[in-house]
């Protein structure tokens, strides 16, 4: 079954009671049992809910995985994964990852005796050098947020397997439309479904996809025991979003290419970060493991001054200045003061994240209108 067909049909089925083609919102907290312990597979909605179950099945199908787990937020999904670790374990992660992930790692789990190493993972020798006998998890984000660095998933898988560690890929920027990490050797794929998967900036949710039955069982235990599960209406909204994921992502990619090329040719732009350029570091890896290059772009204006970046962001009319990404509408952001403010300035700069960097989430509007907005804002 091709991706577009799976996006619409896989994992879902008409309601057995009414024949409704859309998955119902099972807005219930509990379920009547015929006799103590004798039920229809549903006892309590923190544990299972029919709307969530169909979403989880659909997510697994899109990633060519076996099991899907949905969470109330992307951070809840990450939190569940890290709960697999024990005090004394070590994690290797990229040094330019999402600020919320960095905050959870360093401000929460580091306090429980878990050690985190942040290295430039687009260079796999840096990953290999960070491996110790205590390495239990390798955390990949590719393309990275917000510098769009590309990490070789297959190579990271080889390092993880040699170390006896689990490999997680945060696939939020790419979605399974662009790359399927489980097929490249990842043990877990993680998403902030809030972004492209839901796609309409109207719900917050996360997910983890796995193939291994035992790993799924462990994650399911934490999902239920710790309670970071989503409500049925949010699950319904993501299911609705998945049905147009393929057509939206195609347009995001088409518009992203036009915006990236426009910025690269603009005389006031110093540097553009987009993996589709042949001179982008690890472009060859991106071309190998991705089907296209996405709609996320970052850039720096000439002079590299934060005040110029702020002035440009304030002039945008279509690129709304807001947190998040991946919606149908175009968004702009200033990572240093928004999505990555929780990372110390010294660490941000060490990773190459300038205080003047502007991040764009290119939407699915008419590309000509987006280019006009960029022109008037940059000047």
Question: What CATH number should be reported for the domain holding residue 256?
Answer: 3.90.1150.10
User: Would you state the structure tokens that stand for residue 41, as one six-digit string?
Assistant: 């597979």
Predicted confidence band of residue 351 (pLDDT cuts 50, 70, 90): confident
Catalytic residues: 46, 98, 170, 195
Q: Which domain holds residue 295?
A: 245-378
Answer whether residue 39 shows pLDDT above 90.
no
Average model confidence (pLDDT) across the chain = 96
pLDDT band with cut points at 50, 70 and 90 for residue 16: confident
Residues 128 and 14 in one domain: yes
Q: In total, how many domains does the chain have?
A: 2
Q: Is there a single domain that holds both residue 249 and residue 334?
A: yes
Bridge-based pairing of strands 115-119 and 188-192 is: unpaired
In which band, very low, low, confident or very high, does the pLDDT at 350 lie, cut at 50, 70 and 90?
Answer: confident
For residue 371, the model assigns a pLDDT of: 98
Vertex 81, ends 79 and 84: CA angle to 5°?
Answer: 110
| Percent over 90 (pLDDT), the chain | 89
Residue 220 is encoded by which pair of tokens? 């399911």
CA dist., res. 96 & res. 22, Å (int): 40
Q: How far lies 110's CA from each of 104, 116, 298, 345, in Å?
A: 8, 7, 30, 19
- pLDDT tens across 202-257, in order? 999 999 999 999 999 999 999 999 999 999 999 999 999 999 999 999 999 999 99
- Same structural domain for residues 216 and 102? yes
Residue 210 φ/ψ, nearest 5 degrees: -140, 165
107 and 228 in a single domain? The answer is: yes
Question: What average pLDDT does this structure show over 149-158?
Answer: 98
Statement: residue 41 has pLDDT above 90: no
203 token code pair: 């719900």
- 304-329: pLDDT as tens digits: 899 999 999 999 999 999 999 999 99
Mapped onto helix, strand or coil, the DSSP state of residue 208 is strand
| Residue-wise pLDDT tens digits, 116-140 | 999 999 999 999 999 999 999 999 9
CA distance 228 to 82: 14
Q: Tell me, yes or no, whether 374 and 337 share the same domain.
A: yes
Q: Is the predicted pLDDT of residue 345 greater than 80, yes or no? A: no
Answer yes or no: do 284 and 251 share one domain: yes
State phi, psi for 59 to the nearest 5 degrees: -65, -45
């Amino acid at each position: 079954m091709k991706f577009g067909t799976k996006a619409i049909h896989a994992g879902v089925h008409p309601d057995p009671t009414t024949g409704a083609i859309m998955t119902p919102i099972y807005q219930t907290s509990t379920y009547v049992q015929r006799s103590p312990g004798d039920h229809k597979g549903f006892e309590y909605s923190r544990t299972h809910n029919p709307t969530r179950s169909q979403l989880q099945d659909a997510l697994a199908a899109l990633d060519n995985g076996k099991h899907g787990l949905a969470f109330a937020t992307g951070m809840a999904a990450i939190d569940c994964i890290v709960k697999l670790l024990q005090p004394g374990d070590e994690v290797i992660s990229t040094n330019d990852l999402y600020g919320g992930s960095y905050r959870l790692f360093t401000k929460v789990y580091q306090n429980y005796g878990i050690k985190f190493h942040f290295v430039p993972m687009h260079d796999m020798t840096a990953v290999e050098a960070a491996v110790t006998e205590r390495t239990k998890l390798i955390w990949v984000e590719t393309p990275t947020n917000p510098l769009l660095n590309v990490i070789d998933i297959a190579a990271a898988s080889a390092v993880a397997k040699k170390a006896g560690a689990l490999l997680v890929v945060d696939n939020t920027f790419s979605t399974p439309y662009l790359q399927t990490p489980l097929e490249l050797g990842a043990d877990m794929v993680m998403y902030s479904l809030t972004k492209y998967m839901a796609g309409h900036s109207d719900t917050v949710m996360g997910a983890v996809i796995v193939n291994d039955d035992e790993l799924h069982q462990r994650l399911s235990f934490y999902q239920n025991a710790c309670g970071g599960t989503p409500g049925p209406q949010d699950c319904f909204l993501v299911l609705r979003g998945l049905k147009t994921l393929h057509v939206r992502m195609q347009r995001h990619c088409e518009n992203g290419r036009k915006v990236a090329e426009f910025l690269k040719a603009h005389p006031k732009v110093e540097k553009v970060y987009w993996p589709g350029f042949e001179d982008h570091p690890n472009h060859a890896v991106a071309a190998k493991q991705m089907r296209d290059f996405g709609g996320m772009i970052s850039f720096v204006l000439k002079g590299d001054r934060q005040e110029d970046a702020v002035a440009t962001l304030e002039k945008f009319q279509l690129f709304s200045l807001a947190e998040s990404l991946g919606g149908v509408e175009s968004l702009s952001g200033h990572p240093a003061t928004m999505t990555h403010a929780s990372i110390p300035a010294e660490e941000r700069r060490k990773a190459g994240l300038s205080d003047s960097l502007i991040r764009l989430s290119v939407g699915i509007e008419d590309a000509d209108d987006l280019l006009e907005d960029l022109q008037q804002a940059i000047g």
